[in-house]
Amino acid sequence: MKKKAPWAPLNGLLQDLPDDVCDRVGDEVQLVDMPAGKVLHEANVAQTTIYFPREGIVSLMYALESGDTSEFAMVGNEGVVGIGLLTGARSVPTRAVVKVGGEALALRGEFAIREFQRGGAFQEILLRYFQALVTQTAMTGVCNRHHTVDKQLSRWLLLVNDRVGSVEIKMTQEQIAHLLGVRREGITEAARRLQEDGCIRYSRGVIQVLDRECLVARSCECYGVVRTEYDRLLRPALEG
């Protein structure tokens, strides 16, 4: 019977690795705090660590020369931050910033690269995740270009809800506007309409998801594409 790695629960990529991989990773992994606002890696700065969140959300963002920012993907306990290291990219032109605080399992980049190059289960699950992340990134771009702020906000709230496992999201409208790359007034109006429809309740920087199916109905196809791809690529590997 397969034993559970005592350090792995709550991260979907690590929790069901084979025993030999768990033993090697267990000698290297460190549990670290991820307070909201912490920068896990800066743009164009050499990365030395990859992070497997156990809780919380990390926003992958790009900052324009004007100072405006936009989120192109988010990572929770289903994924890993810093996967570019494993593809040979020592640095990337984007930032990884903790938006919802929690904990993560940290691995030195050198060890992670060696383990990845061994092949086997560790490489397989990370390649599956990389493809899922590419899909999320692509659909974020499509959504931001073609869909209304109402649909973008609904999609974003659903993705956050999937990752935090909670109906309560602590984030201001200003913060959400920066992540989506839209004006705060647009988020204010979109949140008001979702609240009037009974999907959410918003008060003092706290959003409560009251009716998830209501959000699904008001979201666009982009959320469904991302969710389906994550389930298709990651669930078989995690359950296999």
Q: What is the mean pLDDT of residues 112-134?
A: 94
Which of 65, 75, 121 is closest to 96 using CA atoms?
75
User: What does the pLDDT read at residue 4?
Assistant: 54
Helical ranges in 30-119 per DSSP H: 109-117
User: What does the pLDDT read at residue 63?
Assistant: 84
Q: What is the mean pLDDT of residues 63-67?
A: 82
Confidence of residue 204 (pLDDT cuts 50, 70, 90): confident
165 compared with 218, residue with greater pLDDT: 218
Name the average pLDDT for the chain.
Answer: 90
User: What does the pLDDT read at residue 238?
Assistant: 43
- With a CB cutoff of 8 Å and minimum separation 6, the contacts of 155 are 143, 147, 219, 220, 222, 223
SS3 (DSSP) at 174 = helix
Q: Give the number of other Cβ atoms within 10 Å of residue 140's Cβ.
A: 24
Torsion of CA 124, 130, 135, 141, to 10 degrees: 180
Separation CA 197–CA 190 (nearest Å): 11
pLDDT in tens, 71-98: 999 999 999 999 999 988 888 999 999 9
Least confident of 96-110, 135-149, 224-238: 224-238
Q: What is the mean pLDDT of residues 126-140?
A: 95
- Residue 63, judged by CB atoms within 10 A of its CB (0-12, 13-18, 19+), counts as middle
Separation CA 54–CA 216 (nearest Å): 25
Burial 105-126 (b: 16+ CB within 10 A, else e): bbbebebbeebbeeeebbeebb
Give the pairing type, strands 206-209 and 57-63: unpaired
pLDDT in tens, 6-43: 555 678 898 878 889 988 988 899 999 999 999 999 99
- The secondary structure of residue 2, as a DSSP letter, is P
Q: What is the mean pLDDT of residues 189-208?
A: 93
Residues facing residue 69 across a β-bridge: 63
Q: What is the mean pLDDT of residues 165-177?
A: 87
User: Is the confidence at residue 240, as pLDDT, over 50?
Assistant: no
Provide Rg for the chain, Cα atoms: 18
